[in-house]
Amino acid sequence: MKRTILIMLVLLSACIAFGQDKKVAVLKPKVLQGDVSMNDKMIITASMNKAFTHINGYTAYTRMGQKFIAAEMEFQQSGMVADAKSLGGQDGADYICVFKLSLDGNELVVNSEIYSVSTGEIDRSDYEVLYDRTDRMKVDKQCQELAYRLLGVSGGSTSVQPRATSYTNTQRHPAEPVMVEVQGGTFWMGCTSEQQGSCDSDESPLHSVTLSSFKIAKYEVTQAQWQLLMGTSISQQQSKAGASSLYGVGDNYPMYYVSWNEAQEFISRLNAATGKNYRLPTEAEWEYAARGGNQSRGYKYSGSNFVEQVAWYGENSGSTTHPVGTKQPNELGIYDMSGKVWEWCYDWYGSYSSAQQRDPIGASSGSHRVFRGGSWSDDASSCRVADRSSRTPSLRNSHLGFRLVLP
C-alpha cells in the first residue's frame, strides 16, 4: 500500500512538473533562399522540437490545432507584435520560435527568432550554419546549441550570450547581400543624350566622373535581412513612421519605412558581425552601376529603354512593392535599380560641378540625403538612371529602401 502511494506521488509530481513547463510553439520553417528540400525541412523541424524539449523546464509543439495553424499563417505574413500575443494564446504557448532556412552551396543556414508571447516582441535572434545534414547526431547537437542560445540558458539554468562567429571571405552572414562586381571606369554623369526631354535642372551640368572598382548588392535589402539584424518587422517600422498602410509584406520583399539614419545602424551591425566594410553607395557609384558600368549600352532606365521591362512603377505595380528580382536585370546583372523603392545614397544633396571628378562623395554638408531610382508609385521619369531626389535623413516612408556597396 505504501509503495502504491509512493508511486502515485511520484507520478503526480511528474505531472505537476510537466504542467509547469514553458511551452515553445515551433512554427513550420520558411525558405529565405535556395532550393531547400522537403527532407531538410523535416529534419530541422524535428531537431528543433527535440532541442527545446530536451531543455529542462521547456516543452515544444509543432501543431496545435486548425485554429492555431490558421493563426500561424497570419502571423508569418505580418510579423506583428499583436499577432504574436494572439498566436500564443491559441494554445497557451509561452514562446514562439520562427526559423527560416537558406541554402548557400552545401551550407544550410538556420535563422531563428524567438518571441515572448507575454510581450509579443522578439526575445532573441540567432543562427546556425549546418555544413553536413547527413549526420543527424551533429544536426541535433547544433540545433540543441541554437535552442540554448535562443532561450538564454545553458544546461537549463545559466544565462548565455549569442555566439560571435567570424566569417571568412567564403562564408556569408545570413544577412549579407549577394554582391556584383563593378569594374571601375569613367562615365558621363547627369543629363546624357538618352535622358534629353526628361531631365530636371539638378541633373546638369553634365560632368565626367572616374570611379574605382567596387561591389554592389544584386538586390535591395529585404525584409528578412532587416529583421534578422535589426529585430523589427515591416509592421513595426510602419508604426514608427506613423503610417497606416503596408505596401508588400514578405521575406523577399524590399525593406521600406527605413530612414537614412536607420540604414546606417543596419550597416554598423552588419559590419560588426562580418568584419567587413559595407556602406551605402555614393550617388556617383549608384548611377554608374545603374547605367551598367563599363558594360553600359546607354539605356534611359537601368537595363532598358522600356521602363516596364525593368521596373515596378506607378503604371504597373498595382500600388504595391513586389519581391526583389522579378523584373529584368541591367547589363551587370543588378535588379530593381529603376522602380520598386527609392534607394538611399551616402551623399548630402548638392548641385553638380562641371569639373572632372574622381570617386566623389557629394556635398560636404547639407540638410538632405540623396536617394535614387524611383519607386512603385512614381512615373517613368523618376525611374531614369539620371533622376535625383533627396529628403531629410530621418525620413521614413513607404517608397524608401536601400542597397549596399562594398569597396
Task: Judge whether residue 212 has pLDDT over 90.
Answer: yes
- Exposed (0-12), middle (13-18) or buried (19+): which is 51, by Cβ within 10 Å? buried
- Exposed (0-12), middle (13-18) or buried (19+): which is 19, by Cβ within 10 Å? exposed
**Annotation: CATH topology of 179-406:** paralog of FGE (formylglycine-generating enzyme) (3.90.1580)
Please give the Cα distance from 364 to 217 (Å, whole number): 26
Phi-psi region of 333 (alpha: psi -120 to 50; beta: other; left: phi over 0): left
- Answer whether 23-151 and 179-406 agree in fold: no
Q: Could you tell me which CATH number the domain at 23-151 has?
A: 3.40.50.10610
Choose between 372 and 6: higher pLDDT.
Answer: 372
Query: What is the per-residue pLDDT across 243-256, written as a single tens digit (0 to 9) for each?
Result: 999 999 999 999 99
Question: What is residue 115's predicted lDDT score, i.e. its pLDDT?
Answer: 80
Q: Residue 256: CB partners within 8 Å, gap ≥ 6?
A: 234, 237, 247, 321, 341, 397, 398, 399, 400, 401
pLDDT band at 80 (very low <50, low <70, confident <90, very high): very low
Question: What is residue 155's predicted lDDT score, i.e. its pLDDT?
Answer: 54
Phi and psi at 32, nearest 5°, equal: -85, -45
Largest CA distance in the chain: 101
Please give the single-letter amino acid code of residue 236. Q
Q: What is the mean pLDDT of residues 4-17?
A: 41
Pairing mode, strands 369-372 and 342-348:
antiparallel
Please give the Cα distance from 329 to 301 (Å, whole number): 11
**Cis previous bond, 205, omega within 30:** yes
Q: Which of 6-10, 90-94, 125-129, 376-380 has the lowest mean pLDDT?
A: 6-10
Please give the single-letter amino acid code of residue 272. A
Question: What is residue 78's predicted lDDT score, i.e. its pLDDT?
Answer: 46
Give the cell for residue 356. 572632372
Choose between 157 and 107: higher pLDDT.
Answer: 107
Residue spans per domain, the chain: 23-151, 179-406
- Exposed (0-12), middle (13-18) or buried (19+): which is 131, by Cβ within 10 Å? exposed
CA-only gyration radius of the chain, Å: 25
Task: Judge whether residue 159 has pLDDT over 90.
Answer: no
pLDDT band at 329 (very low <50, low <70, confident <90, very high): very high
User: Would you say 256 and 397 are in contact if contact means Cβ atoms under 8 Å apart?
Assistant: yes
pTM greater than 0.75: no
Polymer length in residues for the chain: 407
